[in-house]
Amino acid sequence: MSGCLCAKTSTANASSLNILSGLAVVPSPALYPPSRSERNAWVKSLRGARNVVNTDRPYAFTLDHEPNASGEVVPIATIFLTNKECPFRCVMCDLWQNTLEEKILTGQIPKQIEYALDRLPEARQVKLYNSGSFFDPAAIPVEDYEVIAARVRHFERVIVECHPVFLGDRCRRFRDLCSGQLEVAIGLESAHEPTLSRLNKGMDLKQFERAATFLKKENVALRVFLLIQPPFLSLEESSIWLRHSINYALEHGSTAISLIPTRAGNGAMERLGSNGDFRPPTLGTIEESLDWAIGLQKGRVFADLWDLKKFPNCPQCFDRRRDRLKSMNLSQTIIQRVNCGCGSDPNERDINESEPSPGLE
């Protein structure tokens, strides 16, 4: 547990964390089931229909930009692969909407990558995101590893995502096939153990720590996904635990952190919201989260800006505030906040009200 959550002393932080650990919001027993099997069924029962996808094409692809470890902004080809749904039923996940119910055929993933790269501008890094775990053999056939590695051999960095339970020999094999640096992104979501358990991810902090140790030993870089304002925590608790989670990820070797605003849209989150167990973050909360994280200057931290307009925000200054976040993602420096004063976002709150960002003091 980190003692660097804020400008206060480590003793005060530890005290706050212990209190919060005992007082975290508990979902209504009548609403959210207690066991993993019951939660799996509950999550699935609230879903809508899947999107129609093509097994020979990724469901999306785009060119992004990020600063690398040395601070140089580089183009990244991001490809969202179509494959079988992840075996875990995370309560906040909506990625299943673009997945299949059956295993994909050998050769189709390389076709998808080829399709995207033929249509994207040149890039120096590539993200192969598959709405689950790259090293899950039911999602990405092991037989395709060699062809995939050959197709992305000119990239200096290859970034995939994976649940800790699938890290092992398959990860080593793919690493050895890649010409560039392999990086694995893990959805830690929160370092608050009770919340992590309720998210129904099928992992705990010990598993994450073992995965981080494994990746470091195998010379594979680690990226971490964290949720801004996950369910089951009060607004105050989510702010404190996000800070702790950022420090926790950095202490365990994360070379990059993506802060993902928790959104509705999968059925389960709407149900939790109706019971008071979830509230999406406002644009102001997202801004304060990135401000604080970048202010640490301990590692690269990015705010995920996908579908940003869906979060509570001020329509008069949204574009300027979005552009500010984009610029901060690229520069990794804190930029002066947009001064609007329109007062159209009643849910805005300053998570640093008593604890200023390290970069803004």
Q: Where are the domains of the chain?
A: 10-280
| Mean pLDDT taken over the chain | 89
% residues pLDDT > 90 (the chain) = 84
Closest by alpha carbon to 312, among 198, 228, 186? Answer: 228
Q: What is the 3-state secondary structure of 229-269?
A: CCCCCCHHHHHHHHHHHHHHHHHCCEEEEEEEECCCCCCHH
User: What pLDDT shows up at residue 328?
Assistant: 98
Give the pLDDT confidence of 145-190 residue by residue, as tens digits: 999 999 999 999 999 999 999 999 999 999 999 999 999 999 999 9
Helix (H) or strand (E) holding 18: helix 10-23
Burial class (CB in 10 A: 0-12, 13-18, 19+), 253: middle
Spatial separation of the C-alpha atoms in residues 159 and 180, rounded to whole Å: 10
Q: What is the pLDDT of residue 351?
A: 40
179: tokens are 């010409």
- What is 135-154 written as a DSSP string? T-TTTS-GGGHHHHHHHTTT
pTM: 0.88
How does pLDDT run across 35-53, given as a tens digit for each residue? 999 999 999 999 999 999 9
Between 133 and 25, where is the model more confident? 133
CATH number of 10-280: 3.20.20
The helix/strand/coil state of 28 is: coil
The dihedral through the CA atoms of 202, 204, 209, 210 has a sign that is: negative
Average pLDDT over residues 278-287: 96
How many Å separate Cα 194 from the centre of its chain? 18
